[in-house]
Amino acid sequence: MDIGRLHEVEDFQWVLEPEGAMRVPGVLYADEALLEGMDDRVLEQVANVAALPGIVQASYAMPDAHWGYGFPIGGVAAFDPDAGGVVSAGGVGFDISCGVRTLRTGITAKDIQPHQKALADMLFHRIPAGLGSHGKIHLSPGQMDDMLAGGARWAVQEGYGEPEDLERIEGYGYMPGADPAQVSGRAKERQKDEMGTLGSGNHYLEVQKVAAVHDPETAEAFGLREGDVVLTIHCGSRGLGHQIGTEALKSMARAAPGHGIDLPDRELACAPLRSPEGQAYLGAMRAGINCALANRQIITHLARQGFRELFPDASLELLYDVSHNTCKEEEHRVDGETRRLFVHRKGATRAFGPGNPNLPAALRPVGQPVLIGGTMGTASYILVGEEGNETRSFGSSCHGAGRRMSRNQAKKQWRGDQVVRELAHRGILIRSPSMRGVAEEAPGAYKAVEEVVEAAEAAGLSRRVARVEPLVTIKG
């Protein structure tokens, strides 16, 4: 990226002043090296988002930002419905509510060692993964609507998990305002056999060891100790979310001229929050969020069953579940005034700091866990929302390492079986139905997650609590 158009207002905070149609500044949280590694289109997309009606304060980009559809991945923007604010399907993304959940297993890396291969094989057998993967759960039309309205709450009621899980899920396990009637028959058809599946792309289930504790006090509050084993699940709303996004983008693009919206980029198709199109999308998108929450809850149940076959004393208590492709109505202070805003986070994680009333009582004193995925061959991180972050980025942070090359480029550089062998030599077992998918997600295709996490910490978005390293990865 050409950073000549930016100026650094403080460490790790760069500003693009309003120009052209921009209504607010662009703000990028990164160091110079991360900025220079970003595609030029990231800055273009930050500026385009800043031109949308009703945007508040700034158009933000997180340290892992890279080019996306309409919004940059790693983009955050809030819109005020009282100021003609819009909702954008491109600002949520196609994999609605793709997110991460981490569970404490109650066992240690030493306990895992003799059973690592059996654990890898068992999880691969139990958790369907890959493009078009189907599970053993088949939803009737009535069950589909109940799931879309109820999210993880529905899943727990159906026997997939424990009521205590809901306390540790963003939004307590479901998204109010979901309207299954706004979800098309095609979207529902795509999802009816996909519950409890990982899908493909960068989605995974990973057994990890806590390799280092950076913040002992917060780690204690999170129940994490060095040498512990945790289980992390990264997936979303599968085919249903993709179909909702595809249909909404077409509908919004057609309706935009009638609402007087001049789109700087067709991929930024949007609709006023209070328009029929905006309300229809919100109802469908919220149903997509519930689908993803239910999906991760079912996968959790399947993983618990398998884990306890090998380790009867394993606890598998949920640490937290947080999404990173959403639009949520939230209260934020802007210019000394509390306003209800619709915050888009696309490839960005909610990261509320200590004291936030939206956090469960057990976590409120320390802040929200922020779960940051690395790659199959590198560390991931558990962070915590930093105090004051709500004023810096509407309480948001990075979501992962961020790609540094496309999937096609990665396939040309690596072979999947080669990646699997190299990681096995390092003690990391990979199970996947697709060697092409492994090549696309090779560790070298991503930025160094440590650099992204350090930038988020230096910018005051989130703080490192623990570093976790992979032992077993199941991926599509």
For residue 446, which of 383, 385, 399, 396 has the smallest C-alpha distance?
A: 399
Residue matched to tokens 């979303």? 236
Q: What is the 3-state secondary structure (H, E, C) of 227-276?
A: CEEEEEEEECCHHHHHHHHHHHHHHHHHHHHHHCCCCCCHHHCEEECCCH
The two tokens of residue 365 are 């004193």
For residue 446, which of 398, 384, 388, 385 has the smallest C-alpha distance?
A: 398
Rounded to whole angstroms, the Cα distance separating 183 from 179 reads 7
Cβ-contact 61, 460 below 8 angstroms: no
Find the catalytic residue in 7, 332, 399, 425.
399
**H-assigned helices in 175-237:** 185-191, 216-222
Rounded to whole angstroms, the Cα distance separating 417 from 160 reads 34
> Residue 179 carries which side chain, given as an amino acid letter?
D
Query: What pairing do the DSSP bridges indicate for beta strands 429-431 and 462-475?
Result: parallel
Cβ-contact 315, 103 below 8 angstroms: no
CA of 79: how far to CAs of 149, 315, 342, in Å?
25, 41, 5
Instruction: Assign 15 to helix, strand or coil.
Output: strand
Could you tell me how many residues make up the chain?
A: 476
For residue 215, which of 200, 230, 225 has the smallest C-alpha distance?
A: 225
**Close Cβ partners of 4 (under 8 Å, ≥ 6 residues apart):** none
Rounded to whole angstroms, the Cα distance separating 321 from 241 reads 18
Q: Is 399 a catalytic residue?
A: yes
Please list the active-site residues. Answer: 399
